[in-house]
Chain A
Amino acid sequence: MGIPESVRVEPGSFRDPANRVFHAGAEVLRALDETAAADWRALAGTEFFPALMAAGRICRTEQVEPGGPLPESGRPWAAVLRHERIPFVAHPYEWSFSMLRDAALLHLEILRAALPAGFTTKDGSAYNLQWRGADPVFIDVGSFTPVRDGEPWAGYRQFCQTLLYPLLLQAHLGLDFQPLLRARVDGIEPEQMRRIFGGTRRLLPGVPTHVHLHGAMQRRNSGATTADVRSQLRAAGYSRELALATVRGLEKLVRRLDHRPGASHWADYQRTCGYTGQDRAAKEQFVATAVTGEPELVLDLGANDGRYARLAARHARYVVAVEQDPAVVDELYRALRAEREQRILPLVMDLADPSPGGGWRGVERAGFTPRAARADVTLALALVHHLAIGRNVPLPEVVDCLAGWCAPGGRLVVEFVDPADPMAARLLANKPDGLFPDYHRERFERLLAERGRVERRLELPSGTRTLYQVVVGG
């Protein structure tokens, strides 16, 4: 194969110096040093690894001949792997509860398969997992390493901080974990969890051991090096069977954790939205026409139950359904997962506060805009009034933002809800009269025309909603 000339190092892959992910054109490659290359060869020769890869649990990976420049040219790279491309990278703080739970279970499943074969993973981070639609996939192939007998899992702490603790908070206390994970790239520390789970809460499943005991052990052993502790544990007879038992115990605990939120405001939207049957049919027809031509990536913003995301998925390669309400996203995810849908990715995000860049220098975890700005089609259906009225975002800003999430020449499919519409009126009723003099259809149409070419326009039969299809920059 020929690697194209320019390579771009993946800013999220520097933590383990033994390997480095980089992009060459559309390809996702991983350079391995001598040790990592030896690990890879051993891994490829096992039974469990190819089996998990064939089952889709681990991202498809093959060794290739390095045919072009490698990243950080001074490093002694010994081999190059090529990975399957994940259609849209999503961070754990953009997942719903059930997504985080399924991701945690997959990580444990992989570890449970690896240990008997003499392998473990170097880490246990939620960032080891990604999605093909509603299907979790383990992406950190560089994380596999031969297990040394007598050693517990090095990734346990990370697993707790980025997977188990967020799940405990949501399942036991109903606390949304997303803001916490977004704020701290390394997740939630035992010390913080200990304070939240005081009193009788300390008896909740998983809490006495993985939170309190874990925290106490950390405090008491803060002076001991991990090298010393490892050899002490080995001398005391820690075995691979014990490591497996721990993984099984974690699996059992995570399976027990459940979170079914009470009905949220948006959960029943499709029944209460006030569309007439005629409006809905016309809207669906309009959207269906707008997503033809096999677009690579469609964004459905304010996706609610995913009605239009599903419609788009009939034509598009991949659809990202963004919705602010975690309960609604969780419902959608569970439905998609049950259907084994691999082309619709549901995400939790407030579009008035989209994910910023995070981690080292703010680029280790890419923000939403740089990931999204290549959409071939962006759907913003019954969303604009929520941003413009509900969140006071000036209308030109809303249009700029939506247009900015389209690739140049991409299509924006947007619905404008007139101030006279009952739904818009409800939002307006919460604000002082006359606060939004610019929120009207003529102004909106002018703004669209300034940013692109309006190809199609349809007023819905009820008369208070209009749909537009705009070629951005066209």
Chain B
Amino acid sequence: MHLAYLDAGSGSLIVQAVVGGVAGAAVAAKLYWRRLVARFRRQPTDHG
């Protein structure tokens, strides 16, 4: 397993998808959509 010695920066990783044309933007959109869904799924258990 390769551990990156450098902190690549979370935002710096994501922005690379966004700048990667239409396909990249789709990946970024999917990532954000999944995050959103994950947050909604978590919420009931958070309150329950």
Contact = CB atoms under 8 A, between A and B. Distances in A.
Whether A associates with B in a native complex is: yes
Interface of A: 15-18, 35, 39, 122-123, 145-146, 148, 151-158, 160, 209-210, 213-222, 224-226, 228-230, 232-233, 235-239, 241-243, 245-246, 249
12 contacts: A122-B6, A123-B6, A156-B12, A214-B11, A222-B11, A229-B14, A233-B14, A236-B28, A243-B16, A245-B21, A246-B16, A249-B19
The 6 lowest CB-CB distance pairs between A and B, nearest first, are A218-B11, A217-B11, A157-B12, A152-B16, A154-B8, A221-B10
Which of A122, A228, A238 lies at the interface centre, i.e. has the most chain B CB atoms within 10 A of its CB?
A238
Contacts of B14: 152, 217, 221, 229, 233
Interface residues of B, number: 28
Given A217-B18, A246-B16, 9 more contacts: A16-B6, A17-B5, A122-B6, A156-B12, A226-B8, A232-B35, A242-B17, A242-B27, A245-B20
Contacts of B18: 209, 213, 217
A293 B5 CA distance: 46
Nearest to B14: A217
Contacts of B21: 245, 249
Which of A18, A219, A220, A221 lies at the interface centre, i.e. has the most chain B CB atoms within 10 A of its CB?
A221
B20 to A, nearest CB: 4
B9 interface: yes
Contacts, number: 125
Given A158-B6, A245-B20, A232 B31 contact: yes
| Chain B, interface SS category | helix
A153 B14 CA distance: 10
| Chain A, interface SS category | helix
Given A238-B17, A246-B16, A249-B19, A233 B31 contact: yes
Contacts of A233: 13-14, 17, 27, 31
A220 B24 CA distance: 19
B5 A15 contact: yes
A241 B18 CA distance: 14
Contacts of B17: 152, 233, 236, 238, 242
Contacts of B35: 232
B2 interface: yes
